[in-house]
Structure 1
């Protein structure tokens, strides 16, 4: 009987040891959570800010976007909003909309402001104004293999694939697709932040 009671006593854990074990488990969970977040933002998504007004009215200066890494999804199509960086054009990342992909032919009537892809007029209800500004690229233009043609939604205040300095963009320069507006920047006209704009950033159907 005495031996049994002694064995039970040795199995009891002191409050200090119990507290230490809880602290260790809490620290382990915290480290795992931090590691998961680091891996997520390194290999899956990035947080990128919009700098400038070239995507008005869709995006405002100061918007914060969640961007899906290009390594996970590099199948681009018309309407996608992409973030790209080409150091010979601009050192900072830029945000633009995909207008055409490889093999497609883009033509722009700068008198009427109309944009055509493969001879079809684009119904661009997302733009701020028609496309009147030329920037040096000659049209019609066929997008080379492995490239995309991009433009800002604020057409007459955007440097994009119409510029001979950028032209069509090799998809290897694309950082990723914008998928979610995480935090709104101030509206260009009112200076107010419209939190109703927070949410998924869909392509054009």
Structure 2
């Protein structure tokens, strides 16, 4: 073998090892996820590809309006944070109140009248968040006992950082 071939092989191996190390490091901090369903329509659509931070809440708690990926009852779901630790959430006549103030929610899907009325009055504990989909008529979220209040320390996988597909919405 010539020195040039050996040099090329070493360069290729170094590049492959570097790429592997970078991908391992990135996978510890971020993840690509795909939206499944229409519970976030108005903001996200079925099959949108998103990058999430898996370390966003290592030292802080979720904030109001964050979009999070949750592992609940074996399912991964994507929802918007509506209430954070310590908040009082009250829902009546399809209006959402946080600590007595009605929410103005410019992000919800308003193409159809909200029909799934429920009455809720709950105060969140230190490790709890209340989540809802932006497409309220088609969202299984904290309003339903199957999902319920979310323990963010146990159930939140990550925070959505940005969309990578479709490209026009990046």
Q: What are the superposed Cα offsets for residues 167-189 of structure 1, whole Å, 9 maximum, x if unpaired?
A: 110011000000010113xxxxx
Alpha-carbon deviations, 1:55-95, whole Å to 9, x = none?
Answer: 001000001110000464652110000000112xxx33100
Q: CA separation of 1:33/1:179 partners in 2, compared to 1, >3 Å: closer, same or farther?
A: same
Shift of 1:131: 4.7
Larger gyration radius, structure 1 or structure 2: 1
Structure 2's unaligned 5+ residue stretches are none
Please report the TM-score for the alignment, with normalisation by the length of structure 2. Answer: 0.89
Aligned partners of 2:75 and 2:59: how far apart in 1?
Answer: 22
Aligned to 2:48: 63
Q: 1:139 to 1:80 in 2, by over 3 A?
A: same
Q: Distance in 2 between matches of 1:142 and 1:75?
A: 16
1-side partners of 2:150 and 2:130: how far apart? 6
Tell me how far apart the structure 2 counterparts of residues 47 and 147 of structure 1 sit (CA, whole Å): 25
Query: Counterparts in 2 of 1:176-195, with a 5 A limit?
Result: 176-184=158-166, 195=167
Match of 1:167 among 135, 148, 156: 148
Aligned residue in 2 for 1:149: 130
Q: Match for residue 108 of structure 1?
A: 91
Note the aligned Cα RMSD (angstroms): 1.8
TM-score w.r.t. length of structure 1: 0.75
Q: Is the 8 A contact 2:31 2:54 kept in 1?
A: yes
2:117 and 2:126 mapped to 1: Cα distance?
A: 24
